[in-house]
Structure 1
Amino acid sequence: MSIRILTVDDHPMLREGVAAMLNAETGMEVVGEAGDAEQGITEFRRLRPDVTLMDLQMRGMGGLNGIRTIRGECASAKIIALTTYRGDVNVREVLGAGARGYLLKTALRAELMDCIRRVHAGGRYVSSELCAEIAAHAGDEPLTAREYRILELVAEGMENKRISSSLGISVETVKSHVTRIFEKLQTHNRTEAIRIALRRGLLREPID
């Protein structure tokens, strides 16, 4: 029997391209498509596919929460994140939510097929280039909840005084937290800290 696949992505052309590619592969069949996570959840409940391909960057609840919801309802669900996000933080978060695979949209056709077959068989799959990124930061000290919030406010363009007022803490405390953020991200300025945080998945760019 063919592997029954559900694709969830907000770009119709990408869904069509993936569907055409998968339907042309022996032993695979796209049985449903969805344009956002909410619709993806509905289609998963209706179709019970063998494998679900889930984009992460979508309007509404987003792919990560979509994965969490589906896995919460069906622990045996086999979900692969098919995304443009390359950050090690993204990968760990998505796998922690219950996804069995993590693949970049730039992956070659053969890798996509291999990933689907491996996940369908009960295994896991993460792109090799992402495994290297995860390994590079395996021993890093994570940001605390307070540091993460300050990083978000820094990314919004707030200066230390405004952050101090927003969080109800002293300016000196803000400066101390910013210094620790820089140390953990191995940088010395705000612009570079934001760039690194976006690349690794600590921060995400807004959806247009």
Structure 2
Amino acid sequence: MSRIRVLLADDHPLVTEGVRAVLETFDQIEVIAAVATGRDAVDTIERMAPDVTLMDLNMPGMNGLTATELVLERDPEARIVILSMHDNPEYISTALRHGAKGYLLKDVATEEIVTAIEKVHAGETYLCTGTEGALTPEGEREVLTSREQMVLLRLARGLSNKEVARDLDISVRTVETHRKNIKRKLNIDTTAGLTRYVLESGLLGLTD
């Protein structure tokens, strides 16, 4: 059986070394690298393609949520589990909205870390014990990620997909994917409708 290749992203060496030492006692898991910044996480995931990444929320330069968004923009199939000290439901639901497949508190038992890695690797979503209530209730309008808001603002200003792609330094295909997700989340089918949503929601006041 092939081992699950795991990347650790955390700027606290004691945390990284502790988690690595624990995971390496399990035959089914291989820690392939450890990085200390969000930017290094993005670059390493692109280069090494780990099966699962354990990503800290708070890292210097680029936080874990932004790093998660950038990774998923390049590879929608990437599997990222947020590893955090915060058990606030808002942190958890925000992480899930940004595309994380799991959320773990740093003080959970070793067995739960391994369980999370295995379940996320298998394509499931995993929330550690006590945080399951943070999932978005069925039927509630999904919240746009910061990247989707940036795309939406430009579309509402009349920019074409090509112009948005050039402005944000992403591919036209990525813009099209964002546009599709925005329309699905907001349940709005037309550009005029998106523009009206931006005006009514106050998004034009956001800096981007």
TM > 0.5 fold call: yes
What pairs with 1:133-148 in structure 2 (closer than 5 Å)? 134=134
1:117-157 C-alpha deviation (Å, 9 max, x unpaired): 0000000100131124x37x96xxxxxxxxxxxxxxxxxxx
3-state SS of 1:24 partner? coil
3-state SS of 2:58 partner? coil
Partner residue of 2:49?
Answer: 48
Q: List runs of 5+ in structure 1 lacking aligned partners.
A: 139-208
Partner residue of 1:77?
Answer: 78
Q: Does 1:18 align with 2:12?
A: no
TM-score with structure 1 length normalisation? 0.63
Q: Does 1:128 align with 2:107?
A: no
TM-score with structure 2 length normalisation? 0.63
Partner residue of 2:31?
Answer: 30
Give the aligned residue type for 1:120. H
- Report how far residue 31 of structure 1 moved: 0.2
Distance between the aligned counterparts of 1:125 and 1:59, measured in 2? 26
Distance between the aligned counterparts of 1:6 and 1:46, measured in 2? 12
- Aligned length in residues: 139
Aligned alpha-carbon RMSD (Å): 2.0
**Whose Rg is larger?**
1
Give the aligned residue type for 2:40. Q
Distance between the aligned counterparts of 2:51 and 2:132, measured in 1? 25
3-state SS of 2:77 partner? coil
* % identical equivalent positions: 34
1:55-111 C-alpha deviation (Å, 9 max, x unpaired): 001111111101111011100000000111111111111111111000000100011
Q: Does 1:107 align with 2:108?
A: yes
- Report how far residue 20 of structure 1 moved: 1.1
If asked which structure has higher relative contact order (CA below 8 Å, sep 6+), I would say 1
Distance between the aligned counterparts of 1:20 and 1:46, measured in 2? 23
Partner residue of 1:143?
Answer: none
3-state SS of 1:29 partner? strand
